[in-house]
């Protein structure tokens, strides 16, 4: 729908007037830690923001959602057993109901963040939201509390100027995206929160992300035989037995990095289509005891055309082949366990009407090209196609996501709010408030 220029200008002027409020709101959210598993306090703040807009609130814990754990796309945080996993960790959905004959839209953001450790290495404390050179530093400043605030500010500006979207618009603040999204975005879809289009307001640098890599988590366990270090020759050190397996997994990563290519994913992920990364390595429990166990946990990515079954077989075959030269592991085979993330790769059709509409809208607002891209990581937009919707990511510009001195470019937050406001009005339609 074509939006009159005077309507857009009024909304954009409101956003300009709201800059201090937007900055204050983002500061408050960044200063409220919400590491995966501990999102409750920050979600209370979001509830207040959505309530003040007059949205219909649905605040619910994922454990209430029927069929969640049985859904093939479910994966979630494993810090607690399923019966207690979501206690005190609600999702917050604020809906502005509209006319069902007009297109609807979900603007989704995740409130959870990853750990800020080692906090002592930060130049700016991770929970202080310090600003320097137009950058706000802090864990979650970029990934992705800035996007959450930009979406809220966009809808707020529309309402403040006496306008209202014709179709339904929903704002979502969800949990545990960083752990797979099962208890967050997936739970929202299964609870019935759906729309014609879904935008995860992830940091994207004024690009539209239409592709998600496949992701699987796995752990490898090796048993040894303990003995006193003074009689170490009588034991079997699990560290040594694990070593060839670790080497084989690194070699598998190198080989896949060379041989598995997808230009769309390579362009968006700085030259690699997929990775196998070992994230943890633990062994033994006492310096003077031969290590009786060793365990690694890893993440493997894969591209369209590869299946979960293919990747699982590849990893398991690699592990067992590496163990084949060890007499001990022949008698005591390593165990491979699959846990956590289990996302399939997905790429949206770039000619989908919503994607073309959003691209055109963003380019008009920003006055620059807004390209499409894919990345090897997984985000909540990947769930949309499972529910007959279309899912993309679009959000502010940030740096060092998941790393030391994470930061967001504040001007990009204001620009993102403009784009999202124009998208709401043009996609859902608009009318004067009664």
- CATH code of the domain in which 333 resides: 3.30.70.360
Q: What is the pLDDT of residue 320?
A: 97
Same domain, 292 and 378: no
Q: What 3-state class would DSSP assign to 92?
A: strand
Same domain, 327 and 350: no
Given a cut of 70, whether residue 382 has pLDDT beyond it is yes
Given a cut of 90, whether residue 404 has pLDDT beyond it is yes
Q: What is the pLDDT of residue 270?
A: 83
Q: What 3-state class would DSSP assign to 306?
A: coil
Same domain, 221 and 207: no
Q: Residue 164's closest CA among 426, 427, 425?
A: 425
Measured N-to-C along each axis, helices 146-160 and 19-30 cross at an angle, to the nearest 10 degrees, of: 150
Number of domains in the chain: 2
- Give me the percent of the chain exceeding a pLDDT of 90: 95
Q: What is the mean pLDDT of residues 259-272?
A: 90
Domain boundary pick from 343, 372, 396 = 343
Same domain, 86 and 128: yes
| CATH code of the domain covering residue 140 | 3.40.630.10
Same domain, 251 and 171: no
Same domain, 145 and 289: no
Given a cut of 80, whether residue 10 has pLDDT beyond it is yes
Given a cut of 90, whether residue 81 has pLDDT beyond it is no
Same domain, 161 and 309: no
Given a cut of 70, whether residue 434 has pLDDT beyond it is no
Domain boundary pick from 296, 319, 343 = 343
Please give the span between the terminal C-alpha atoms of the chain, in angstroms, as a whole number: 20
Same domain, 233 and 369: no
Q: Residue 217's closest CA among 271, 269, 266, 275?
A: 275
Domain boundary pick from 325, 343, 361 = 343
Given a cut of 90, whether residue 271 has pLDDT beyond it is no
**Cis peptide leading into 61, omega within 30 of 0?**
no
Name the DSSP class of 162: T
Range of the domain at 42: 5-212+345-432
Same domain, 337 and 367: no
Same domain, 14 and 158: yes
Give the distance, in angstroms, between the CA of residue 22 and the centroid of all CA atoms in the same chain: 22
Q: What 3-state class would DSSP assign to 204?
A: coil
Same domain, 178 and 241: no
Same domain, 365 and 409: yes
Could you tell me if 141 and 131 are in contact, meaning their C-beta atoms sit under 8 angstroms apart?
Answer: no
Edge-to-edge, what's the strand order for the sheet holding 293-302? 276-283, 293-302, 214-223, 335-343
Give the distance, in angstroms, between the CA of residue 290 and the centroid of all CA atoms in the same chain: 40
- Average of per-residue pLDDT values in the chain: 96
Given a cut of 90, whether residue 60 has pLDDT beyond it is yes
Q: What is the mean pLDDT of residues 32-55?
A: 98
Given a cut of 80, whether residue 430 has pLDDT beyond it is yes
Q: What 3-state class would DSSP assign to 142?
A: helix
Give the distance, in angstroms, between the CA of residue 265 and the centroid of all CA atoms in the same chain: 17
Strand partners, 109: 173
pLDDT in tens, 311-342: 999 999 999 999 999 999 999 999 999 999 99
The torsion of the CA quartet 336, 342, 343, 345, rounded to 10 degrees, works out to 20
Give the distance, in angstroms, between the CA of residue 258 and the centroid of all CA atoms in the same chain: 26
């Amino acid at each position: 729908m074509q939006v009159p220029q005077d309507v857009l200008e009024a909304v954009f002027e409101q956003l300009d007037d709201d800059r201090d409020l937007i900055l204050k709101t983002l500061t408050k959210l960044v200063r409220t830690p919400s590491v995966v598993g501990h999102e409750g306090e920050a979600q209370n703040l979001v509830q207040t923001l959505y309530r003040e807009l007059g949205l219909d609130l649905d605040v619910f814990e994922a454990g209430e959602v029927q069929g969640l754990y049985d859904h093939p796309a479910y994966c979630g945080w494993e810090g607690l057993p399923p019966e207690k996993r979501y206690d005190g960790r609600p999702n917050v959905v604020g809906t502005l109901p509209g006319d069902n004959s007009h297109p609807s839209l979900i603007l989704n953001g995740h409130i959870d963040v990853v750990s800020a450790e080692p906090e002592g290495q930060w130049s700016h404390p991770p929970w202080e939201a310090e600003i320097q050179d137009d950058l706000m530093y802090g864990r979650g400043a970029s990934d992705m509390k800035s996007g959450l605030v930009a979406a809220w500010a966009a809808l707020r500006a529309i309402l403040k100027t006496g306008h209202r979207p014709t179709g339904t618009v929903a704002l979502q603040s969800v949990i545990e995206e960083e752990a797979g999204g099962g208890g967050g975005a997936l739970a929202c879809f299964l609870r019935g929160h759906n729309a014609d289009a879904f935008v995860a307001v992830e940091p994207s640098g004024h690009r539209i992300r239409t592709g998600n890599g496949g992701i699987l988590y796995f752990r490898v366990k090796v048993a040894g035989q303990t003995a006193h270090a003074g009689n170490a020759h009588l034991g079997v050190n699990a560290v040594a037995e694990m070593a060839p397996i670790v080497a084989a997994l690194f070699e598998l990563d190198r080989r896949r990095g060379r041989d598995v290519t997808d230009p769309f994913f390579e362009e968006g992920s700085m030259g690699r289509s997929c990775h196998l990364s070992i994230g943890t390595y633990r062994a033994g429990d006492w310096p003077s005891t031969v290590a009786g166990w060793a365990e690694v946990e890893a993440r493997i990515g894969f591209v369209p055309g590869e299946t979960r079954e293919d990747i699982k077989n590849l990893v398991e075959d690699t592990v067992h082949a590496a163990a084949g030269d060890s007499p001990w592991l022949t008698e005591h085979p390593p165990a491979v366990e699959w846990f956590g993330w289990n996302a399939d790769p997905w790429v949206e059709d770039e000619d989908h009407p919503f994607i073309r509409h959003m691209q055109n809208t963003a380019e008009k607002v920003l006055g620059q090209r807004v390209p499409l891209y894919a990345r090897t990581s997984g985000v909540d937009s990947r769930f949309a196609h499972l529910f007959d919707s279309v899912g993309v990511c679009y959000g502010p510009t940030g740096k060092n996501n998941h790393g030391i001195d994470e930061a967001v470019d504040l001007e990009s937050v204001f620009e993102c709010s403009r784009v999202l406001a124009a998208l709401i009005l043009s996609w859902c339609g608009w009318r004067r408030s009664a």
